[in-house]
Amino acid sequence: SASTAATLTVGIRVRPLVRAEIARGGRRDIIRVLDSRVVVVLDPDENKDYLDQVQNRTKEKRYTFDIAFGTSATNRDVYNGTVRELIGGVLQGINTTVFAYGATGSGKTYTMVGTQQDPGLMVLCLEKIFADRDTSHRDEDFCVTCSYLEVYNEIIYDLLVKSSSPLELREDPELGVVVAGLKHITVTSAAEIMTLLEEGNRRRKTEATDANASSSRSHAVLEITVKRTPKNHYKVTQLRGKLSLVDLAGSERAAETNNAGQKLRDGANINRSLLALANCINALGKANSGKSAASYVPYRNSKLTRLLKDGLSGNSRTAMVATVSGSSDQYHHSINTLKYADRAKEIKTHVVQNVGTVESHVADYQRIIDNLQSEVQDLRWASGGGGR
């Protein structure tokens, strides 16, 4: 079917100052959200009082996004404002990608995974898919499968397997980039997926760094495939939608983490793949804004960008939630994130409804009739009746 152009939905979430930032003292909350769309970043100079900060606007930055959330927003607020409208498409055979982007400690994992009291986007998206399934027609078959992987130091591991060996990416002419050997589990409820998600998260690489008490050292991708089969007498039309939920590892500067050895190598690989992602966003944003001719997009520079290729420019409706800390000592990280989010607004994807027509039922019936007729003929001969 024909493709429809769609732009990325880009939302910004500002997290409140955490206890550690307040305890360090001298930290200011320098990010303001105006009219649910405009993000203003004030001068981070610690030596100025608030009035001077507001009056001296040379370092003030202002950005406009599809939607912006202040520090009091819940995960459900973020879900309702960015991805809720996209999720219904998964049951219509539309691929959907949701990812959180931001520095270490800016609130990505909290936004994607959440807590018992404030469930994250992953949980809310899953609940919506199964709620929609339960309110649809009874004469339709649904098959929902789930996979969960991590990219750690440029190696892909299956989080649904006890001790996964490294997995390889393959190009599939129909499905695009696939992970060879990745386990896909059939599920019947959001609760089942949540159990698998918790199991996978226990296997995920997280470690404390000086920048964050529990820093994700890997990128994690939860993928839900929904096959929906409405039936009629002559053929079966199957809609196949895929939901990719991505929790990226945090970017951090080595100077801020005091890391050494393996942790430092982890950080270098994380930053390398995030740089590759940023470069893809940059190239796509430039090409789609008309500011430059179609430029080369470096998807192959990392496993992460190869996995996200469809979500960034291919067959997918995509939402990016960029998370920033309002703390003045995170000014450069926040500006960096906001710049890339601003560029991502220009990116266009090409959405196609994934429809497959299976004519096999008619062929199956014909085969059964042929076999029965053959058996009847054999019985007639056996009973001495000859032909008709």
What is the three-state SS of 326-343? CEHHHHHHHHHHHHHHHH
pLDDT of 339: 94
What distance in Å separates the CA atoms of residue 128 and residue 375, rounded to the nearest whole number?
A: 50
pLDDT of 363: 56
* Pairing, β 155-158 against β 9-15: unpaired
Residues 6+ apart with CB under 8 A from 233: none
b/e 180-218 (16+ beta carbons within 10 angstroms → b): eebbeeebeebebbbebbeebbebbebeebebbeebbbb
Write out the residue range of the structural domain in which residue 227 sits. 4-353
What distance in Å separates the CA atoms of residue 129 and residue 6, rounded to the nearest whole number?
A: 21
Is 362 part of any domain? no
pLDDT of 259: 45
What distance in Å separates the CA atoms of residue 216 and residue 219, rounded to the nearest whole number?
A: 7
* Position 63 pLDDT exceeds 50: yes
Q: Is 108 known as a binding-site position?
A: yes
Is 50 part of any domain? yes
pLDDT of 157: 96
DSSP 132-196: HHHTS-TTEEEEEEEEEEEEETTEEEETTSTTPPPB-EEEETTTEEEETT---EEESSHHHHHHH
* Position 357 pLDDT exceeds 90: no
Q: Is 227 known as a binding-site position?
A: no
pLDDT of 295: 73
Is 378 part of any domain? no
CATH code where residue 248 lies: 3.40.850.10
Q: Which residue has the higher pLDDT, 14 or 205?
A: 14
Q: Is 309 known as a binding-site position?
A: no
Q: How many domains does the chain have?
A: 1
Q: Is 104 known as a binding-site position?
A: yes
The pair phi, psi for residue 35, each rounded to 5°, is 55, 30
pLDDT of 254: 37
* Position 233 pLDDT exceeds 70: no
Confidence of residue 211 (pLDDT cuts 50, 70, 90): very low
What residue type is assigned to position 193 of the chain?
A: I
What distance in Å separates the CA atoms of residue 300 and residue 84, rounded to the nearest whole number?
A: 31
DSSP 86-103: HHGGGGGT--EEEEEEEB
pLDDT of 179: 97
- Residue 3 β-bridge partners: none
Write the pLDDT tens digit of every residue in 248-287. Answer: 887 654 335 444 455 556 556 667 888 889 889 888 988 8
Q: Is 106 known as a binding-site position?
A: yes
Write the pLDDT tens digit of every residue in 304-317. Answer: 999 999 889 888 99
Is 278 part of any domain? yes
Is 379 part of any domain? no
Is 383 part of any domain? no
* Position 350 pLDDT exceeds 90: no
> Of 122, 120, 144, 121, which Cα lies nearest the Cα of 132?
144
Reported for 132-138, long-range contacts at CB under 8 A and 24+ positions apart, including other chains, are: 132/87, 132/88, 132/91, 133/91, 133/226, 136/91, 136/228, 137/230
Is 348 part of any domain? yes
Is 385 part of any domain? no
∠ CA(342), CA(175), CA(219), 5° rounding?
50
Q: Is 109 known as a binding-site position?
A: yes
Contact 313, 284 (CB under 8 A): yes
> Of 277, 352, 283, which Cα lies nearest the Cα of 309?
277
